[in-house]
Amino acid sequence: MLHKLSRRTLVTALAAAAALPLPALAAFPDKPLRMVVPFPAGGAADVMARGLALHMGEQLGQQVVIDNRGGAGGTMGAEMVARAPADGYTVFFATMGTHAINASLYQKLRYDPVKDFAPVALTHITPRVLVVGPSVKARNVAELIALAKSKPGTITYGSAGNGSSSHLSGALFASMAGVDMQHVPYKGSSPLLTDLLAGRIDATFDSYTVYEEFIKTGKVHALAVTSAKRMGALPQIPTLDEAGLKGYEVSNWLGVLAPAGTPRDVVMRLNAAIVKAMSDAGLKKQLTGLGIEPTASTPEEFGALIRSEIPKWERIVKNSGARVE
């Protein structure tokens, strides 16, 4: 599904935007918009959201202001937008975590990822990278699996938090490879990176943007990427599927949602601005260099993606045993 959407041309979405009634386009927006990002400033999601907001604002003729509302795995920000007025002036920068994983991870989720939101557009796809620290002798996936099998329960992998996509990417790897690896949750990628460089943690499945400098200088080693196809920023690194784990695919996705009930013409106005923003050559070049795949979709395609991802991650969360009260 993700691979198909990422190859889609922008023609259909642009044509749909051109067909919108002129009065609706003229009326919205007439003041700045707020984009709620459910993570702290400076992280990968925040960086992607700010680039999108800048170009989106140029298309709308109004500033799109970033409002960072981190906490509780993104649930605080999501709940805020779910309760916001359905007028298009408050939108949400959703992630695979907030709108697929959390549905199974949290026992008492205070928003419905489908019913409480109106999909606007998919915007970014970010594969994970399997990275090992300097003390790990493995230089390919087969060697890491062999090492893990020779030392059951002793090879560690860190994540950005319990139930995060980096945690579940590692849990899926261990399950498919038939190995016992110890999960170590951190409060974000920064302390994880520090321990990986120091040799206190063996591996991680994390965003390329965090490890780019250290991969290039050889301080850590990238063994594989988690996506269905190779990453443009790491063309020499195989996918996990190519490395022997047939069918393995995890790509974090991000996109824009509005509160449920937002008028259709407003949703399509936002969609048109996002489609044009994500087709900007400068933005695309910047994102691709960071290992991020810029994309765009119709609201219907994004909605279908969310609905299809919820049961997929329900199975992975259940198998991992991860739960958050």
In terms of Cβ atoms closer than 10 Å to its own Cβ (0-12, 13-18, 19+), residue 13 is buried
Neighbours of 199 (CB within 10 A): 11
One domain, residues 132 and 119: no
Per the domain annotation, does 155 fall within a domain?
yes
Per the domain annotation, does 241 fall within a domain?
no
Per the domain annotation, does 238 fall within a domain?
no
β 33-37/293-294 pair status: unpaired
Per the domain annotation, does 290 fall within a domain?
yes
Per-residue confidence at 24, pLDDT binned at 50, 70, 90? Answer: very low
Which pair of structure tokens corresponds to residue 235? 């063309």
pLDDT of residue 44: 82
pLDDT of residue 43: 79
Whether residue 267 contacts residue 13, with contact meaning beta carbons closer than 8 Å, is answered with: no
pLDDT of residue 105: 94
pLDDT of residue 5: 55
**H or E segment at 94?**
strand 90-95
Per the domain annotation, does 108 fall within a domain?
yes
Per-residue confidence at 232, pLDDT binned at 50, 70, 90? Answer: confident
Q: What letter would DSSP give residue 196?
A: H
One domain, residues 7 and 121: yes
Per the domain annotation, does 150 fall within a domain?
yes
Domain that includes residue 152, residue range: 127-225
User: The domain spanning residue 62 has which CATH number?
Assistant: 3.40.190.150
Mean pLDDT across 212-217: 94
One domain, residues 107 and 85: yes
One domain, residues 264 and 211: no
pLDDT exceeds cutoff 90 at 302: yes
Whether residue 134 contacts residue 218, with contact meaning beta carbons closer than 8 Å, is answered with: no
User: What is the residue type of 206?
Assistant: D
pLDDT of residue 26: 59
Q: What letter would DSSP give residue 289?
A: H
One domain, residues 193 and 271: no
pLDDT of residue 15: 52
Q: Buried b / exposed e across 152-163, counting CB within 10 Å, b at 16+?
A: eeebbbbbbbbb
Per the domain annotation, does 235 fall within a domain?
no
pLDDT in tens, 139-183: 999 999 999 999 999 999 999 888 888 999 999 999 999 999 999
Average pLDDT, the chain: 91
Which pair of structure tokens corresponds to residue 8? 């889609």
pLDDT in tens, 60-108: 999 999 999 988 889 999 999 999 999 999 999 999 999 999 999 998 8
Per the domain annotation, does 287 fall within a domain?
yes
pLDDT exceeds cutoff 90 at 325: no
Pairwise CA distance, residues 306 & 311, whole Å: 10
One domain, residues 122 and 255: yes
User: The domain spanning residue 196 has which CATH number?
Assistant: 3.40.190.10
